[in-house]
Amino acid sequence: MTEKEMQIQQKQEVQRAGEPTKPEKQYVPAVDIFETAEAVNVLAEMPGVAKDGVEIELENETLTIRGTVVPQEHGGETVLLREFEPGSYLRKFTVAETIDQEKIQATMADGVLTLVLPKIAPAKPRRIEVRGI
Amino acid sequence: MAIVRFADQKLFRNPWADFERMRRELDALFQGPGHEAGGRGTVFPALNISEDSGSIYVRAEIPGVPAGEVEISIEGDTLTIRGERKTCTAEEKYSYHRRELECGRFSRAITLPAKVQVDRIEAQAANGIVTITLPKAEAAKPRQIKVNVG
């Protein structure tokens, strides 16, 4: 049996440079990054974030993934067990020059963001002939 | 599989409970924010359970599992959440730079703190969070008892 039981991953909070002004928590989403011949794929786990809450920015080769959660009020309920706290997500990556920045695609499904960063087609090897005089 | 029993917690009132709570809070203070919610459960998925006078709410954080593939079952007063996360593309030809997402089968059972109306349980999934609403049985709802003067 290769079946394995999943473990809860504790969410890591973002180490912030500035002082926080919002009371909500900010987490570093867990990611899978894998590379195929054509593209670099990023899967980021951001439960509670809707499609509209995802912001992806690319600036100076830095890719920023930001996910904001609409806070949900459950007034009048008594908490019996609390194992997770909703919060927003933030993570930054440096993107290599070989990525075609124009063609980055993102999809959000069931709280997991999938980013496809296609590679620029490798330049065809060019042979330069040396001619004799 | 972890079973959270609420009944156990209520039966024995620990005289040191307040001191233990203080110690936990101090520990949380030294570890920095963000740790108070963790450390209690290690079984996937993470759950938030709350109740009001009419219902019990179970919220589970299950990202990466389509809503239709989460199995929820109830037997007596044990609620079981089961499923499988297939985000892992186990193909060897990929070269991984980061591999932080867990995948595989999961199963978690909890003992509900009150009797519920089994046929009126509802579950809803939104953005990787599954909310299960369990209406309490009539017998378990709080009731006002009028005191008659006479």
CATH number of domain containing A85: 2.60.40.790
Best to test chain B binding among A5, A25, A35 (most B CBs inside 10 Å): A5
Residue B66: its chain A contacts at CB < 8 A?
Answer: 109-110
Q: What is the pLDDT of residue A123?
A: 56
> Complex ipTM above 0.90?
no
pLDDT computed for residue B38 by the predictor: 45
Judge whether A9 lies within some domain: no
Residue B84 confidence (pLDDT) = 87
Please report the pLDDT score of residue B89 as a whole number: 62
Q: Identify whether A20 is part of a domain.
A: no
Token digits of residue A132: 């004799």
In Å, how far is B148's CA from the nearest CA of chain A? 30
- In the structure encoding, which two tokens stand for residue A11, read together? 């969410």
* pTM for the full predicted model: 0.71
Mean pLDDT computed over A8-32: 76
Per-residue model confidence as pLDDT tens digits over B72-103: 999 888 999 998 887 666 666 677 788 888 77
Domain topology for B6-11+42-90+103-138: Immunoglobulin-like (2.60.40)
Task: Give the chain A residue whose CA is nearest to the CA of B47.
Answer: A83
In chain A, which residue's Cα lies nearest the Cα of B97? A33
Predicted local distance difference test score (pLDDT) of residue A62:
87
More confident residue, A49 or A9: A49
B68 torsion bin: left (phi>0), alpha (psi -120 to 50), beta (else)? alpha
CA-closest candidate to residue A27, choices A41, A42, A48: A48
Give the range among A65-69, A110-114, A126-130 with minimum mean pLDDT: A126-130
User: Cβ B107–A11 below 8 Å, yes or no?
Assistant: no
User: What single-letter DSSP state applies at residue A102?
Assistant: G
- Among A35, A46, A108, the residue with its CB nearest the CB of B94 is A35
Q: Do B48 and A8 touch (CB under 8 A)?
A: no
Q: How far apart are CA B48 and CA B44, in angstroms?
A: 12
Between A8-12, A126-130, B77-81, B124-128, the lowest mean confidence (pLDDT) is in A8-12
pLDDT of residue B139: 84
- Label residues B89-104 b or e (16+ Cβ within 10 Å = b): eeeeeeeeeeebbbbb
Contact criterion met (CB < 8 Å) for A110 and B102: no
Q: Give the pLDDT confidence score for residue B122 in this predicted structure.
A: 92
Q: What is the pLDDT of residues B27-75, one digit of tens each?
A: 766 665 444 444 445 678 888 899 888 899 999 999 888 888 899 999 8
- Residues of chain B neighbouring A82 (CB-CB closer than 8 A): 37, 48
Q: Angle at CA B10, nearest 5°, toward B6 and B12?
A: 125
User: Mean pLDDT lowest for which of A49-58, A62-71, B6-15, B105-114?
Assistant: B6-15
Contact (CB<8Å) B99/A84: no
Which of B122, B127, B134 is closest to B49 using CA atoms?
B134
Mean pLDDT of A75-96: 85
- Does a structural domain hold residue A58? yes
Q: Does residue A4 sit at the B interface (CB-CB below 8 Å)?
A: yes
Residues of chain B with Cβ-Cβ distance to A11 below 8 Å are 34, 38
* pLDDT band for position A38 (cuts 50, 70, 90): confident
Give the mean pLDDT of chain A.
81
Which of A13, A18, A16 lies closest to A28, judged by CA?
Answer: A13
User: Which tokens go with A8?
Assistant: 């809860």
Q: Domain range for residue A108?
A: 25-71+81-118
Indicate yes or no: CB of B100 within 8 angstroms of CB of A111: no
- Check CB contact under 8 Å for B46 and A35: no
Name every chain A residue with its beta carbon within 8 A of the beta carbon of B54.
Answer: none
What total number of domains does chain A contain? 1
Domain boundaries, chain B: 6-11+42-90+103-138
B-chain residue closest to A68, CA distance: B127
Which residues in chain B are contacts of A108 at CB distance < 8 A? 127
Q: Given this model, what pLDDT does residue B34 score? A: 45
Residues 14-53 of A with CB under 8 A from B: 25, 30-36, 40, 43, 45-50
